[in-house]
Structure 1
C-alpha cells in the first residue's frame, strides 16, 4: 500500500500544496520562502525581548502574555519552534503560541535559537537553555510561578525540548514541571523501520532528516554524539518531568518516539502518549481544518492547560 492511500482522506489535499525541496541544496530557498505569520491579538500581548545567550550572542525571545493575566503566580511555557534544526522562527508559531497563552492561561516564551549549519550543536540547545534561565530569573518581575514552568516544542523543537529536560536535570535546574514534545526529532541514527518507510517527497522524509542531522551535528557526526544532541541516546531517563507526546502513524519519527516513550515509562516518568492513525508529520498544521487536525491540536492544548492549572478538574497525568 503506497503512502497516499494510507493517509486519512481529509489530510491528502493538504499535501498537494506543499513545496517539494531537496536538502541541503534548497535550504536557503526554503528559508526565503518560509511564511512569517506575524499574529496580532487583543487577548494576548506579543513583544520581543533581546538577551545575551551563553556565547554572548544576541538572542530574541518572543513573549506572549495574556491580557487578563494576574500579576502573580502565572505559569510559563518555553515553546521551541520546529524546522529540522535548520529552518523556522518564533513568528511562524504566533497563532499556536497565542492559543497556548489564552487557553492555558500562561506566559509563553519562544526563543529565536540559532540554526544549523551556520550554528551546529550545541548552539541551538544552549540558546533554549539561556531562554529558560531568563524565565527563571524574570519570575519575580513578571509574576511567574517557578513551580509551574513547562517546556514544549514540535518536531525539531520537540527534540530540543526533550534534550532540554535532560540538560536541566543534569545542571540541577531550572526546574520543569512538564514537557510537551510533539512528534519530536530524537535520533540522529535514522535506523528505525519508520525512518526507512516514510520517503514521500511532500512530507518530512528520510532524505530531509539525514541531511538535517548532518548539518546540525557538523564535525561531531564522526565522533561521539552527546545525548543532549540526540536524546534517544540517553541511557538514564530517570528524574525527568511528566510528558505528553504524540505522533502520526505515517511520521518517520514514529518508531524512535515509541521507543523513547517506552523507555521513559520504564524509568518511572509519567507519560501520556497518542498515536494518530492516518496522520503524517505535522499534519495538523498542513491541513488545519481537518477534523483530525482540530482534535490533535485541541488535545495537546487542553492537556497543557490541565497540567498548569491542577486545581480545576482532573489536572494530573
Structure 2
C-alpha cells in the first residue's frame, strides 16, 4: 500500500468505545435497515423546549414539485428582530429529518444568543435525486427571508448552515442564492460538509473500510450515497453545481464562510479544496481541521476535549459575526 494512503492516528478519546459507532451503510439492505430506525420527533424535543423556554412552530411552504414543512424554534419571549440560522439537517441527503437539527448545542445557541433556528424537511434521495433537495431548501430560504418580520428575524443577520449532507446542501443553496438574486446572507456555516461526488481525493482513498478506517461514514458509504443522489456513473457525467457544489469553479460573490472537518474523514480534502476556492474568489473563510477526528466525532463523543474545542470554535464564530452585523 502506498504510504500516502496510511491513516493518521485517531484521537484516542474518540475511539475509546468504538462499539457505540453506528455501522457503515454500503448496500441496499443496510440502507433499508438504517431508514427503518426511528427518527427524532417533536415529542422527543418538547421537554427540552419547555425547560429552556423555547417554542416550536411549523410552516408549510411551496417548493418545486409540491410543499415542504419548516420547523421554527425561537425564544418564547422575543424583543425585536433576532439573528437566525437556516439550518439544514444531515444524513447524507439520503436519511434523517428536520428534528435532527435541534441538537443540544443548537438549543443552547438559541437560548444564550437569542436566535431563531429554521430547519426544512426536504425530500431525500433516492426518492428524489439531486438537486431536488437543494431547490426545495432554497425555496424555503426565500420564504423565510420574505416572512422575516413575521418570524421575528433580522434578515441582515441570516446565516445558512448545515452539517454533513446538510452542509453540502447549505453550500448548494448559497450558490443558488448568489445566482438567483438573493436572498442576501450574512454567512454560511458548513460543518463537515458533503460537497463533492467524484471521490478523487486522497482522503477518499485513505478512509475506507478496506483500509481500516474507524468511521460512521467511510468512503464506501459516501459512494453509496452519491449513487443514490445522482445515479451510477455520475463521476463522469455533467452534474449541476447545485447537486455537487465541489464542481463549481467560480465561488466569488458568496458570503463569508466557516468550514470545519475532521482530519480523519473522507470529506477532509474536498472541504479544504472548497475553502481554497472561496479564498480565490475573495471570500473570507475560517477553517478548522480537527486532528484525529472522524466524521461527526463531536456528535458521537461530545465530551471529548477535541469535541469541546470544535463546538467552542463554532460558537465563537457565530458570536463574532452576529455581533459585527449588529453594529
**TM-score normalized by structure 2?**
0.89
Task: Determine if contact 1:15/1:202 at 8 Å carries over to the other structure.
Answer: no
Residue 23 of structure 2: which of 20, 24, 30 is its match? 20
| Moved segments of 4+, more than 3 Å | 1-5
Q: Distance in 2 between matches of 1:91 and 1:97?
A: 11
- Residue number in structure 1 paired with 2:97: 89
Q: Deviations 1:12-66 (Å, cap 9, x if unpaired)? A: 1343212314333211211222552632323321232222222123x12111102
Task: Determine if contact 1:103/1:301 at 8 Å carries over to the other structure.
Answer: no
The residue correspondences of 1:277-296 to structure 2 (distance < 5 A) are: 277-296=291-310
Residue 268 of structure 2: which of 227, 232, 254 is its match? 254
The residue correspondences of 1:103-252 to structure 2 (distance < 5 A) are: 103-199=112-208, 200=213, 202-218=215-231, 221=234, 223-252=237-266
Change (3 A) 1:190 1:281: same
Q: Deviations 1:120-162 (Å, cap 9, x if unpaired)? A: 1122111111210111121122232121111000111111111
Q: CA RMSD in A?
A: 2.2
Q: Distance in 1 between matches of 2:119 and 2:27?
A: 26
Task: Determine if contact 1:100/1:108 at 8 Å carries over to the other structure.
Answer: no
Task: Determine if contact 2:10/2:264 at 8 Å carries over to the other structure.
Answer: yes
Equivalenced residues, count = 311
Task: Determine if contact 2:7/2:207 at 8 Å carries over to the other structure.
Answer: no
- Residue number in structure 2 paired with 1:300: 314
**TM-score normalized by structure 1?**
0.91
Q: Distance in 2 between matches of 1:27 and 1:104?
A: 38
The residue correspondences of 1:24-103 to structure 2 (distance < 5 A) are: 24-25=27-28, 26-36=30-40, 38-39=44-45, 40-41=48-49, 42-57=52-67, 59-70=68-79, 72-95=80-103, 96-103=105-112
Distance apart, 1:113 and its partner CA = 0.7
